Chain A
Amino acid sequence: DAKTTQPPSMDCAEGRAANLPCNHSTISGNEYVYWYRQIHSQGPQYIIHGLKNNETNEMASLIITEDRKSSTLILPHATLRDTAVYYCIVLTSDKLIFGTGTRLQVFP
């Protein structure tokens, strides 16, 4: 199964871009990369997903390297409400396998 590696924690100043990295060096050609986040005391929330091309939606941008071995989630203007644990997931066998994620702390 493809696995992901993320830093355990990151800080970001409010209003600045938050760039959250993820390594998935064993990803297969047809496996998607998904990002979710979990704000304290809530269930996880879907953010974005992609296969090869970069993706953008109202929440974030996803940049996937050409070799697909890593990706970066970008929150262009982080706010205090973006403080959460961010999970990078490689979809395997129709199942989302959550790791321990990156705890992003946005500070004023």
Chain B
Amino acid sequence: DVKVTQSSRYLVKRTGEKVFLECVQDMDHENMFWYRQDPGLGLRLIYFSYDVKMKEKGDIPEGYSVSREKKERFSLILESASTNQTSMYLCASSLVRDYNEQFFGPGTRLTVL
């Protein structure tokens, strides 16, 4: 079974802190994705990557950056956390570009105080 793991289930940070959310997948998937999920808004795509060192903006990239130095790892970075970035963050991976069976991690609930 594909396993997507995220570094923390719960995280509390202060406004202005730099925050790293880590995601690792163990099935050699090419594609990786970061979403955030908020009540009433569903899941929204922040960034995605089709290959190592490659990234593309999703629908809401403002305030975020990403890093993909290794195929199995995709990091989401909040350069200066703000309270409106309090959310559930979900990472996903999929095998090839046009095959959208995405496998999701358990999520990280981030609270920014």
Which residue numbers of A lie inside 8 Å of B, CB to CB? 32, 34, 36, 41-46, 49, 87, 91, 94-101
Q: How far is the CA of A99 from the CA of B4 in the complex (A)?
A: 23
User: B86 to nearest A CB, angstroms?
Assistant: 17
Residues on B facing A (Cβ under 8 Å): 4, 35, 40-45, 48, 58-59, 90, 92, 97-98, 100-107
Main SS of the interface on chain A?
Answer: loop
Cα–Cα, bound, A2→B39 (Å): 22
Task: Supply 6 further A-B pairs (C-beta < 8 A) apart from A34-B100, A43-B4.
Answer: A41-B107, A42-B106, A43-B90, A44-B90, A49-B101, A95-B58
Q: What distance in Å separates the Cβ of A85 from its nearest Cβ neighbour in chain B?
A: 9
Query: Are A45 and B58 in contact, with the CB atoms below 8 A?
Result: no
State A99–B41 Cα separation when bound (angstroms). Answer: 7
Please report the C-alpha to C-alpha distance between residue A34 and residue B48 in the assembled complex, in whole angstroms. Answer: 19
The list of the 10 closest CB pairs from A to B, nearest first, reads A43-B104, A98-B43, A98-B42, A46-B101, A100-B42, A44-B104, A43-B90, A99-B42, A43-B105, A43-B107
Q: Which A residues lie within 8 Å of B45 (CB)?
A: 95-97
Among A42, A87, A91, A98, chain B packs the most CB atoms within 10 A around the CB of A98
One of B44, B59, B103, B106 near A46 (C-beta < 8 A): B103
Instruction: Give Cα A36 to B72, complex, Å.
Output: 23
Q: How far is the CA of A34 from the CA of B43 in the complex (A)?
A: 15
